[in-house]
Copies of this chain bind each other. A is one copy, B any other.
Amino acid sequence: MGTPAGKAFDVGLLVAILLSVTCVLLESVPAINAEYGLPLRIAEWCFTVIFTIEYVLRLWTVAHARSYAFSFLGIVDLLAILPTYLSAFFSGPQSLAVVRGIRLLRVFRVFKLVRFVREGSQLANALYASRRKIAVFVAGVVCIAVLFGTVMYLIEDDEAGFTSIPTSIYWAIVTMTTVGYGDVAPSTTLGRLVSGILMILGYSMIVVPTGIVSAEMARADITAKRGRVCGSCGATGHAEDAMYCRVCGDKL
Contact = CB atoms under 8 A, between A and B. Distances in A.
The 8 A-B residue pairs with the shortest CB-CB distance, nearest first, are A179-B180, A181-B182, A177-B203, A28-B165, A29-B164, A177-B199, A207-B209, A182-B182
B217 A195 contact: no
8 contacts: A24-B165, A25-B146, A26-B166, A127-B211, A176-B203, A180-B182, A182-B183, A235-B241
A67 interface: no
Nearest to A140: B117
B182 A147 contact: no
Contact of A185 (B181, B196, B214, B247): B181
Interface in A101-155: 101, 104, 107-108, 110, 113, 117, 119-120, 122-123, 126-127, 132-134, 136-139, 141-143, 146-147, 150, 153-154
A181 B141 CA distance: 20
A11 interface: no
Nearest to A221: B218
A158 B127 CA distance: 37
